[in-house]
Chain A
Amino acid sequence: MSALGSRSNPLRVAIVGSGPSGFYAAEALFKAEHAITVDMIERLPAPFGLVRSGVAPDHPKLKQPIQVYEKIAQTEGFNFIGNVTVGRDVSVAELRATHHVVLFTCGAETDRKLGVSGEGLPGSHTATEFVGWYNGHPDYRDRVFDLRQEAAVVIGQGNVAADVARMLGKSAAELATTDIAEHALEALAASRVREIHLIGRRGPAQAKFTNKELRELGELTNCAVIVNPAELQLNSESAAELADKNNYTAARNAEIFHGWAQSQASAKPRRIAFHFLASPVELKGEGRLQRLVLEKNRLEGPSFAQTAKGTGERFELPCGLLFRSIGYQGIPIPGVPFDARRGIFPNDKGSITDAPGLYAAGWIKRGPTGIIGTNRADAVATVATVLSDLEKFTPATKPGAAGLLPLLARRGLKVVGYSDWQQIDAQEVQRGEPKGKPREKFTRVAEMLTALQ
């Protein structure tokens, strides 16, 4: 029998998920000095994961990695198998029969909960829902956000929280020529939201924004930023954190906050207000969210390991909308070990624990940290693990897509291939043209499939 990874016995890899981690894993596999095929399975008919449905519509440059992924998709030996859900349409055991390696790059699809009373009140949402909704993700197409409310709260101080705040702070005219979903643009055009509160449980020195995303909030045409100078006072541990040369992102953020705190409040129609050292303790309201009760925190512990501890002092913020953006969790797939506490597939350098042949990269491997490019290094590391394990795999040939596609066809599943996606893509672009938008997305799976007929 010829060696696994040779031309007559290529290594068959199934990648589950078609976001950045999936494509960077495919890229790294194709770079290896072995014959390797990649079958990328995606539950939606559309690829590119959070680059398509996470990156904000007004950040078109951050969507340019798609051009890189489009090139990877043209590599010989690459198959896109869209509109197929692993664990429902096909089992992990079946994939292991058709492929030597199953590499999960399925991300972190749910939000962490605040775990406070009133969290389920109407008006309380996850950032994921809102982001998916304005980006036209089919899962969130029918979500309704009551944008008649004047005050919205965003819990969390990272880039997703900044995106949510910015989308609420911009006028519809500012978003009209982006690839924002039509339903969201219509709803946001009628928005009465004027106050956006960004809440962080720790201090300004620990906010997780990247400098560019934070600075952008201060450059909005129709929205002012408000920072209370008193909230920028640091304890000595936080001051030491900012003085560390390797912590310059946080130091720059602190400078940006100081700049805003010193500037005159401008007379713009909307405002983003930052609140530090506060944690939500209760959501209150008659039949819907009306007020958020917060507890003030202080920081305890040494520099770079400070945690927020409640002081007992409480205050309330009137608000009709709340979006929590305090981290994400992966969801389990039958047949794959799952660490429920961390919301990841437990793994050693990408090799899933006690599951030979199963690997993970990206958020489902390490948790929801970093930005698009972080997942490239992460995927490359997992692929290195896969390649170093090559000898451990059963050397028998496996059919790959030639075995998987007939199985899916027998089940009556409509598989969306890469050329099908290209047709959907072309139609989206065409639909956007008359509106001056880069594309008008199809926001329902059925619409995408109809577009292929």
Chain B
Amino acid sequence: MTFVVTDNCQRCRFTDCVTVCPVACFHGDSEMLYIDNETCIDCGACVALCPVHAIYEEFDLPEEQRRWIEINAEKAPGLPVVNDKGEPLPTAEARKQELGY
């Protein structure tokens, strides 16, 4: 079982999630964040922090989003750890509204 970041993070990248990660398992590129499932302890603290519900436990992942399991696992290890809250992307607020949050 693992937690994954999905496409709602794109054009948002709020990074609230990383502030409650007890083990620094978030990595990121300029687009979005990814969870390193080797480090993640499945505590789920991040899920509730995401303003656009981009993070799912694998078990709860909608069918059309399952590809994100592989994307997170592939991308995260090669990217730098994101451990501190940063500025959201300039498009974040508009995207949040568009997503209905």
Contacts and interface: CB of A to CB of B under 8 A. Distances in A.
Interface of A: 20, 24, 61-62, 64-65, 67-68, 210-212, 215, 245-246, 248-249, 252, 370-374, 376-377, 380
15 contacts: A61-B41, A62-B43, A64-B41, A212-B1, A212-B42, A245-B100, A246-B53, A246-B101, A252-B60, A370-B45, A371-B43, A371-B45, A373-B46, A374-B20, A376-B20
B21 interface: yes
B52 to A, nearest CB: 10
A245 B84 CA distance: 26
Nearest to A64: B41
B43 A373 contact: yes
Given A373-B20, A377-B20, A62 B41 contact: yes
Interface in B47-84: 47-48, 53, 57, 59-60, 84
A61 B24 contact: no
B21 A376 contact: yes
Contacts of A215: 59
Nearest to B101: A245
Contact of A212 (B57, B84, B100, B101): B57
B86 interface: no
A441 to B, nearest CB: 20
Contacts of A377: 19-20
B57 to A, nearest CB: 6
Contacts of B59: 215
A195 B100 CA distance: 43
B22 to A, nearest CB: 4
Contacts of A62: 41-43
B23 A249 contact: no
Q: Would you list the 3 A-B pairs with minimal beta carbon distance, nearest first?
A: A373-B45, A373-B20, A377-B19
A374 B45 contact: yes
A68 B22 contact: yes
B88 interface: no
Given A61-B42, A248-B53, A372-B43, A20 B22 contact: yes
Contacts of B84: 380
B44 A376 contact: no
B60 A65 contact: no
A372 B45 CA distance: 8
A246 B52 CA distance: 8
Q: Which of A65, A245, A370, A373 has the most CB of B within 10 A?
A: A373
Given A245-B100, A372-B22, A211 B57 contact: yes
A416 B43 CA distance: 31
A71 to B, nearest CB: 10
Contacts of B57: 211-212
B19 A380 contact: yes
Given A211-B57, A374-B20, A249 B100 contact: no
Contacts of B44: 210-212, 371
Given A67-B23, A212-B1, A376-B21, 12 more contacts: A61-B42, A62-B42, A62-B43, A65-B23, A245-B101, A370-B45, A371-B43, A373-B21, A374-B45, A377-B19, A377-B20, A380-B84
Contacts of A372: 22, 43, 45
A376 B22 contact: yes
Contacts of A373: 20-22, 43, 45-46
A65 B101 contact: no
Nearest to A377: B19
Contacts of A210: 44
A62 B44 CA distance: 10
Contacts of A246: 53, 101
Counting chain A CB atoms within 10 Å of each CB, the highest count among B41, B42, B46, B48 belongs to B41
A122 B22 CA distance: 38
Contacts of A211: 44, 57, 60
Nearest to A249: B48
Contacts of B42: 61-62, 212
A13 to B, nearest CB: 20
A205 to B, nearest CB: 16
A64 B42 CA distance: 10
A312 to B, nearest CB: 36
Contacts of A376: 19-22
Nearest to A371: B45
Contacts of A64: 23, 41
A39 to B, nearest CB: 23
Contacts of B41: 61-62, 64-65
A357 B40 CA distance: 36
Contacts of A68: 22-24
B27 to A, nearest CB: 16
Contacts of B43: 62, 371-373
Contacts of A252: 60
B19 to A, nearest CB: 4
Nearest to B45: A373
Interface in B1-48: 1, 19-24, 41-48
Contacts of B46: 373
Contacts of B23: 64-65, 67-68
